[in-house]
Structure 1
Amino acid sequence: MTGTRPFTDLLALEVLGEGHFGATVDPIWTIGPKVHGGCMMAVCAAAARRAIGAVALQPIAVSANYLHAPDPGAVTLTTTVRKRGRQVCVVDVELRQRDRTAVSATVTLGLLDVSAPRHQEPLAVAAMASAPPADAIPVTADHPMGQIVHVARGCDLRVDPSAAHYLSGRQGDPINRMWLRPFADDEADTDTSLLFALMAGDISAPVTMNRGMLGWAPTVQLTTYLRRQPAPGWMRVLASATVLGDTWFEEDHVILDAAGQVVVQSRQLAMIPKGA
């Protein structure tokens, strides 16, 4: 990794023509050899934001279909504006590499929430400490998880050992809990920290690992809602699943910012790892 603002660098787009952009994905933004799905979603959202050019509107919802797993390196993005309104805009984005579409996404842009919620149900993630406790496990480059989840090299990611049973060879509920924050220079830029939170809607290792189902669990479809600008500081992440089928499982993320507000909600449909 080079530089102190790796996520800002990921989102740096080159204008290639009307509605067309280029980006370069550093190898740190990968899971194993392939580009991390949440990072591709963030780059698609950045392209949609540039295509609209409306400063007040932000990507409040992104729905992505993953068609191909690209390698790190150069990618191109093609945007098509489907709706341009004062309060809501809709942009289709295709992320391609070597003439092959990797992601087809629809990005909805609108105004973020700023006031306190009018109503909110109790959330399990709110029971987590607002900052990682002493026993939280830092996912560093030399940690076994960090050797696969390279994304952890571009941020500060810490895992709750009481939930991550797979790290000790045990089994438990399909739940992961973790704390996450971008590096200081990325966090200082509000546009970058916002899309970092969007990316974090796909940050968890597959919750199937807690059931002894190890290996790659490819995401087929992911929808993420971005509710508000995250406050600086640690984000609390709870990932969970309710149904692990023969072929498919769903995985949900709920993320609170340092002020205790819901900033991200996501749901993905993914495949059970082969051989599980």
Structure 2
Amino acid sequence: MTELKTLRSTRPFTELTTLTPLGDGAFSAHIDPIWTIGPKVHGGCMMAACAAAARDVVRAEGGARELQPVAVSANYLSAPDPGDVRLTTTIRKQGRQVCLVDVELWQDDRLAVSAAVTLGRPDVAEPRHREPLALDALPAEPAADSSVITDGHPMAEIVHVAKGCDLRVDPTAARFLTGELGDPVNRMWARPMAEDEADTDTAALFAIMLGDISAPVTMNRGMFGWAPTVQLTTYLRRLPEPGWMRVMASAQVLGDTWFEEDHLVLDSSGQVIVQSRQLAMIPKG
């Protein structure tokens, strides 16, 4: 794996999702080693890069700048290393309100992600209806006993993405950190770096990335190791307000081979900004 160096950038997520046009709807990108889980690129970061490619190609074809990737459905075919990647796009529909773009993310001659991206205008007005959510009870800002993922934290050697943003874990949910068993639920607070947060387009992509930010909830049941994501669908419901975002990951069924993991993300105002569901495989370890 490429050596993990100390972060020097003040806008690392912007740099991750800033693509270089290659012509004919193709783009290149460079994925820094901080955007990894263990030695491999984090799935949510690849999803954000695919969403950026879809948005860029639609804008290049005259699409409204207000359009954002409101839904991204990705199949993961291989796990790339950090470094250079290439993204290819095919516009399936370009409309005033909805655009559909297929995106493929390649490393060398190996296809890593195949995604379908829907672009539209995120919600702005107050919801017409909203059910009470378990995540509403989590304080809007990190609790005093929250566990900050920095050097020396048990997760820091694996969760390198914490170098590119501020991630804090709710210890009352992450029982695996103290060797205990708990429900298949994790809760976290997350916030991008200030310059990333200040850019609306980057903040939207960061929120999409958070739809895959939690450690596998199987860890709370004593099942450790790689839990490969096979398919992930993420909805961006609205653009996040600046400030801390609350994240909850949960599962209802841990099968013999498969489990689902749902992410819910609230922004600092308490609005639902991201919902996601992934199908993953139970760790073999």
- Fold similarity call, TM over 0.5: yes
CA distance in 2, matches of 1:40, 1:225: 15
| 2:36 corresponding residue in structure 1 | 30
| 1:252 corresponding residue in structure 2 | 262
CA distance in 2, matches of 1:56, 1:177: 31
Superposed structure 1 runs of 4+ greater than 6 Å apart: none
CA distance in 1, matches of 2:197, 2:186: 24
- CA offset digits 1:103-124 (Å, max 9, x no partner): 0000000010000000011100
| 2:9 corresponding residue in structure 1 | 3
Which of 244, 249, 253 is equivalent to 1:243? 253
| 2:57 corresponding residue in structure 1 | 51
Unaligned runs of 5+ in 2: 1-6
Which of 149, 156, 161 is equivalent to 1:139? 149
CA distance in 2, matches of 1:126, 1:144: 27
CA distance in 2, matches of 1:126, 1:39: 26
| 1:159 corresponding residue in structure 2 | 169
SS in 2 for 1:143: coil
| 2:126 corresponding residue in structure 1 | 116
| 2:192 corresponding residue in structure 1 | 182
Give TM-score scaled by structure 1 length. Answer: 0.99
| Count of paired positions | 275
User: Would you say 1:61 and 2:77 are equivalent positions?
Assistant: no
SS in 1 for 2:239: coil
Unaligned runs of 5+ in 1: none
SS in 2 for 1:205: coil
- Aligned CA RMSD, in angstroms, stands at 0.6
CA distance in 1, matches of 2:171, 2:45: 25
- CA offset digits 1:191-215 (Å, max 9, x no partner): 1011000000000000000000001
SS in 1 for 2:162: helix
| 1:268 corresponding residue in structure 2 | 278
SS in 2 for 1:236: strand
User: Would you say 1:90 and 2:100 are equivalent positions?
Assistant: yes
**Displacement after TM superposition at 1:141 (Å):** 2.8
Q: Is the 8 A contact 1:141 1:153 kept in 2?
A: no
Which of 224, 227, 230 is equivalent to 1:220? 230
User: Would you say 1:106 and 2:116 are equivalent positions?
Assistant: yes
- CA offset digits 1:86-145 (Å, max 9, x no partner): 100000000000111000000000010000000011100111000001100000133120
Which of 206, 209, 217 is equivalent to 1:207? 217
